[in-house]
């Protein structure tokens, strides 16, 4: 099966990104044909600083490689390095009903909040569809909030297939696990939008400071506490081993402890959990030529597939000259 996913470089990755999605992408690369890209074209709807976008794009690639994405197993590339996708987007636009885009939740939410939505945001699902269809992707790992976009992709592909020919493989959403609901420092879902994140590769002192500020309830120290549903415990069990998780759960149920004890333990297991990734990232960051080579090779391999699909689509809709049989 071919698996495809893109991640926007709109900020540095945090624990929620890793446990909610990135870790699962990395697991999939061992069993499937993986295409993973840095969605810098999508990021243009929110980032207007060119140097910031360039920096975040490279940071995203470094982070993914440091976290275990293996270019020998999966294709890693930058979205804009595959121009065939932009060309395919226009073709898909001609088969996309306006009402379909008007119903998409990202556009509707901004409109309802009185925020000006540009044409990029409005047509975002079409570019996303081109991202998926350009590589004949079978599975797209997404959270529940992105399932609608996969349904839109299928609708657009079906529209083209109906008008012309069966040129597109229809993708299926592969739902990410409940780990996507990683609690932030305020107990809500960890998200840059809520300013409640803990960065994967930020300074360890800064991470500890954020951990020590995680909001907790006001129950007395001596009271026993149920660990399930406690957001500190939820974070701890993402990174601790089974024996440590059991010991911490027992501590909760006995009572007689302060949340500062849990926060300190959380900081320690987090530093241990990401220690190898931190070391790999430092090595990669000190060798920019290798990073450029990985992304260039990924783009080359991605373009081969995208060009094959684009040619098939252009032949189907009549904007390419018919293939001439060899004599």
* Residue 180: predicted pLDDT: 52
Helices (H), the chain: 15-17, 23-28, 40-43, 50-66, 83-93, 98-102, 105-112, 119-122, 124-133, 147-163, 204-212, 231-239, 242-254, 259-273, 275-285, 288-317
Active-site option among 108, 111, 192, 210 = 192
Give yes or no: 181 in active site: no
Q: What is the pTM of this model?
A: 0.92
* Residue 324: predicted pLDDT: 56
Active-site option among 111, 181, 189, 205 = 189
Give yes or no: 110 in active site: yes
Give yes or no: 225 in active site: no
Q: How far apart are the first and last CA of the chain?
A: 37
Residues of the chain with pLDDT under 50: 179, 325-327
Does residue 273 sit in helix, strand or coil? Answer: helix
Active-site option among 73, 108, 110, 210 = 110
Q: Is 40 exposed, middle or buried (0-12, 13-18, 19+ CB in 10 A)?
A: buried
CA-to-CA distance for 282 and 56, rounded, in angstroms?
16
CA-to-CA distance for 157 and 129, rounded, in angstroms?
8
Does residue 176 sit in helix, strand or coil? Answer: coil
The tens digit of pLDDT for each residue in 270-318 reads 999 999 999 999 999 999 999 999 999 999 999 999 999 999 999 999 9
Give the chain's domains with CATH numbers. 2-181+288-317 (3.40.50.620), 202-273 (1.10.240.10)
């Amino acid at each position: 099966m071919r698996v495809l996913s893109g991640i926007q470089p709109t900020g540095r990755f945090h624990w929620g990104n890793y446990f909610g999605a990135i870790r699962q992408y990395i697991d999939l690369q061992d069993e499937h044909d993986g295409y993973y890209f840095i969605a810098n074209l999508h990021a243009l709807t929110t980032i207007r600083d060119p140097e910031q976008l360039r920096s975040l794009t490279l940071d995203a690639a470094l982070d993914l490689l440091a976290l275990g994405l293996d270019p020998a197993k999966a294709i890693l590339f930058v979205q804009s390095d595959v121009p065939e996708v932009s060309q395919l987007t226009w073709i898909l636009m001609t088969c996309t009903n306006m009402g379909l885009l008007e119903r998409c939740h990202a556009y509707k939410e901004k409109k309802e909040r009185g925020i000006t939505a540009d044409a990029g945001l409005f047509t975002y699902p079409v570019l996303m569809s081109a991202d998926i269809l350009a590589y004949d992707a079978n599975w797209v790992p997404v959270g529940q909030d992105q399932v609608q976009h996969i349904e839109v992709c299928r609708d657009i592909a079906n529209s083209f297939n109906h008008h012309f020919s069966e040129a597109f493989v229809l993708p299926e959403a592969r739902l990410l696990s409940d780990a996507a609901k990683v609690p932030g420092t305020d107990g809500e879902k960890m998200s840059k939008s809520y300013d409640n994140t803990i960065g994967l590769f930020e300074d360890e002192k800064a991470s500890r400071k954020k951990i020590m500020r995680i909001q907790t309830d006001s129950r007395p120290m001596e009271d026993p506490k149920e660990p399930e549903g406690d957001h500190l415990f939820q974070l701890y069990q993402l990174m601790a081993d089974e024996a440590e998780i059991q010991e911490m759960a027992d501590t909760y149920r006995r009572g007689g402890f302060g949340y500062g004890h849990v926060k300190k333990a959380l900081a320690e297991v987090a530093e241990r959990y990401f220690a190898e990734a931190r070391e790999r990232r430092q090595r990669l960051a000190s060798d920019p030529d290798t990073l450029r080579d990985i992304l260039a090779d990924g783009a080359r391999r991605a373009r081969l597939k995208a060009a094959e699909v684009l040619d098939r689509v252009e032949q189907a809709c009549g904007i390419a000259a018919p293939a001439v049989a060899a004599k």
